[in-house]
Structure 1
Amino acid sequence: MTGWVILIVLAAVIGVGLARFGRFPRGGVELLGAALLLALAGYAWQGQPGLAGRPTPPRADVARANSDYGALRETMFERFTGDAQVLTTADAFQRQGLDLYAIGVLRGALVRRPRSADLWVGMGNALVAHADGLVTPAAELAFARAAKASPLHPGPPFFLGLAYAGSGQFDRARDAWAGLLARTPANAPWRADLALRVRALDALLASDATR
């Protein structure tokens, strides 16, 4: 009943206000009254004024913390290029949990630059994030496209290994990282971190083997 009272009062206030202060042509007030009556009829037909009020629950916070991918990407990729700007934009969407937007941004950029290893790595990472950390066949294909586009680029095997490690596939992560370590120059800025990761996985896999 309260819903009806509120609706009638609002309709009356709107009708009086518009009729008094609005400028209508001849017959306009009658049309206004008809429109308000039509609104009331529609509410009577489809409305449910007897339902108890219930506040909308707050939206869950889906924002993510900065990932290793975002931090480590700068050591392996060019930083001041158009591809870097695209990846930064995709990262921003991913941190907000908007994975489909990130994928869309990367897909659009790949239409223009289909042989960009950086963009394909970004796509692989975005697909993994969208799958809640699982390395799907689509993500593996994106990383494979990145490696094919630039066979000597450290990004594809490194971030594929990072995705495998995040999904608990430590043996696959170890294979990807060990292969990259074997061809990484001694003065590469990411070599020390990579070697540490391989040793950590070796220790983890050895511990699992003795259980």
Structure 2
Amino acid sequence: MTGWLAIIGLAIVAFLAGLLLLKGHRQLWTLLAAVLVFGLAGYAWQGSPSYPAAPAEAMENGPQGNPALVDARREFFSEADVPAHFITVADGFARKGDFERAAQILQQVVAEDPDNGEAWLALSIALTEHARGRLTKPAVFALQRSYETLKDSPAPAFFDGVNALRTGDAPTARDIWADALAASDEDTPGHAFLAERVAGIDQLIDAVMAQQQGVTLPPVAPPAAPAAAGPQPE
């Protein structure tokens, strides 16, 4: 069961990443969901989610994390709300996958301006991405500070939901997002962006549940009966 939760969680995270990258192309969401569900169906038939995973070496080279999260963060701020200079500098490193350097710069920003909510949120994202999706104590602290300094913005809740998705807890993620939507006005920056993501995760969850209900084991013939010819039922 734990293996299935992890697989479904990975599918939801992949779908979330697709929503971030395919914003404005809603016609592709159904195709993306179909591809992921097809993969889940194949894994249900041939995979072994209950088996322990083999140890793997961590990748030391190449970019870390997901630079698209920088663009997602900016969805919750108006174009007139230009970020501080060093936040922009940190974003440049984050877009290249260097979240360690981004976090170092952002730590200096919040030290000098502890009321800068976007800096706290960017720091939480950078720390989480540098840890390859693991929510560390410093990242949790930075996220909490972003909640305190961005009281009228759904931005902290969005990334709180992203963190829940990464653990495979889609219901919690959806609840966080739905509560943030209900608490924010429609003209709040990021409200429409978050509403679309809620619709997207609902679409994927419905597709996964439908696929799970449709995946059944092939029937076993009675011992005395001869083997049936022809194609077997799916």
Structure-1-length-normalised TM-score: 0.60
- In structure 1, what is the Cα distance between the partners aligned to 2:199 and 2:82? 35
Q: CA deviation at 1:146?
A: 0.8
Q: Distance in 1 between matches of 2:190 and 2:80?
A: 19
Q: How many residues align?
A: 152
Contact 1:133–1:167 (8 Å) recurs in 2: no
Q: Who is 2:63 aligned against?
A: 62
Alpha-carbon distance in structure 1 between the residues aligned to 2:63 and 2:137:
25
Structure 1 residues 112-146: Cα deviation after superposition (integer angstroms, max 9, x where no partner): 11121111101110011111122333322211111
Percent of aligned positions with the same letter in both sequences?
28
Residue 161 (structure 1) aligns with = 161
Deviation at 1:208? 5.0
The equivalent of 1:173 in structure 2 is: 173
Q: Which amino acid aligns with 1:158?
A: F
Aligned to 1:133: 133
Q: Distance in 2 between matches of 1:145 and 1:184?
A: 19
CA RMSD between the two structures:
2.9
1:187 is paired with a residue whose SS is coil
| Higher-Rg member (1/2) | 1
Greater shift, 152-161 or 113-122, is seen at 152-161
Which one-letter code corresponds to 1:62 in the other structure? P
Query: Gaps (5+ residues) in structure 1?
Result: 1-58
Conserved in 1, the CA contact under 8 Å of 2:174 and 2:201? yes
For 1:142, give the aligned amino acid.
A
Q: What SS is found at the alignment partner of 1:133?
A: coil
Distance 1:63 1:180, change over 3 A: closer
**How far apart, CA to CA, are the structure 2 residues paired with 1:184 and 1:81?**
18
Instruction: Identify which of structures 1 and 2 has the higher relative contact order when contacts are C-alpha pairs closer than 8 Å and 6+ apart.
Output: 2
Provide structure 2 residue ranges, at least 5 long, that are not aligned to the other structure. 1-59, 213-234
**Distance in structure 1 (CA, Å) of the matches to 2:155 and 2:66:** 21
Match of 2:4 in 1: none
8 Å Cα contact 2:121/2:142 also seen in 1: yes
2:101 matched to 1:101? yes
How big is the shift at 1:178? 0.8
Would the aligned equivalents of 1:75 and 1:189 in 2 still touch at CA under 8 Å? yes
CA distance in 1: counterparts of 2:197 and 2:75, whole angstroms: 16
Cα distance in 2 for partners of 1:61, 1:162 equals: 23
Aligned position for 1:75 = 75
Q: Residues 196 and 132 from structure 1, CA distance in 2 versus in 1: closer, same or farther, beyond 3 angstroms?
A: same
Q: What TM-score does the superposition give when structure 2 sets the normalisation length?
A: 0.55
Q: Distance in 2 between matches of 1:107 and 1:65?
A: 20
Which residue of structure 2 lines up, in the alignment, with residue 35 of structure 1?
Answer: none
CA contact (8 A) 1:93 1:101 kept: yes
Aligned residues of 1:135 and 1:164 also touching (Cα < 8 A): no
User: Cα–Cα, structure 1 residues 183 and 82, in superposed 2: closer, same or farther, change >3 Å?
Assistant: closer
Is the contact between residue 133 and residue 163 of structure 2 (CA under 8 Å) also seen in structure 1? yes
- Deviation of 1:191 (Å): 2.6
Letter in 1 for 2:103: I
